[in-house]
Amino acid sequence: MKKLKIRSLFLKTITIIFIVNLFVSCHKKEITVRDILSKSLEAHGGLELWQQVDTLSFTKKTILYNREGLKEKEIIQHQSFYGGDFINGEITSIGADKSKLSIMGGLYSKSIGDSLVVLTDEDVKLINKSFKSAYYVISQPFNLSESDAHLSYKKDTILNGEKTFVVDVLYKEDQNSNTPDQWTYFFNAKTFLIVAAKVFHSPTVSFIENIKFNIETPFVFNAERESVFLNKDGSKDYLRASYFYSNYKVVLKN
């Protein structure tokens, strides 16, 4: 009889614990895309501080590979952005292919070696696109909060053994593209740092993983990234590019 009472008490205890856990899990607040972005902004240095940036400069080395894994090309650039956006800045390519692109106060310029190039309307569009793309990459996740993109929390996944939040980003069409890129960002569920991104840029799909981060400034920037082309089924095709960032310098507005 005593054993039956103990068994009954044990079953009741287990049942109560189960009901409590079920109640807590049902009422636990689900994370939203707004929560994810807000926490990521803080993890990367804070939006308020980012909006005080007057000058951002760094060195970027890009190594391109062919399908066989052989190095196809190496590009070293020094990039500078002024005024907290892509509208003013300089992108200087160093080495044998020395060149410089510049946008200053609405004036566009391009030089190859020591020669200044006479720009056409198409050249201006290409320079604008180059600056916009370069700034887009370096300004995440802050650019996500300042753009008119539509963000949607897709799901959770496991990336490199860690829980990761997956957020789809869709941009409106612009004057430079009839089919805007479709981005997916991957946020580490513990640190809320952006650890990877996937982009559909017709006709290719690329998966870009952030391998290392730079914490030498008040912000957390990328230090090393790898980009692979994906097959139609989502599997990796081959490594297309490696990116290395260094010599970050940030000057805040007075």
The per-residue pLDDT for range 6-52, each reduced to its tens digit, is 455 444 555 545 444 544 344 446 899 999 999 999 999 999 999 99
| pLDDT in the model for residue 29 | 67
Report in angstroms the alpha-carbon separations of 141 from 2, 25, 41, 173, 187. Answer: 63, 30, 6, 20, 10
pLDDT band, very low/low/confident/very high, at 87 (cuts 50, 70, 90): confident
**3-state DSSP call for residue 118?**
coil
| pLDDT in the model for residue 8 | 53
User: What is the arithmetic mean of pLDDT over 232-254?
Assistant: 95
CATH code of the domain occupying 32-252: 2.50.20.10
**3-state DSSP call for residue 215?**
coil
| pLDDT in the model for residue 174 | 52
| pLDDT in the model for residue 95 | 82
Per the CB < 8 A criterion, the answer to whether 101 and 130 are in contact is: yes
| pLDDT in the model for residue 18 | 47
Number of DSSP helices (H) and strands (E) in the chain, helices first: 5, 13
Average model confidence (pLDDT) across the chain: 87
Q: What is the pTM of this model?
A: 0.84
Q: What percent of the chain has pLDDT over 70?
A: 85
Per the CB < 8 A criterion, the answer to whether 163 and 143 are in contact is: no
Give the CA angle between residues 240, 246, 249 to the nearest 5°: 135
pLDDT 10s digits, 148-179: 888 999 989 999 999 999 999 988 765 444 44
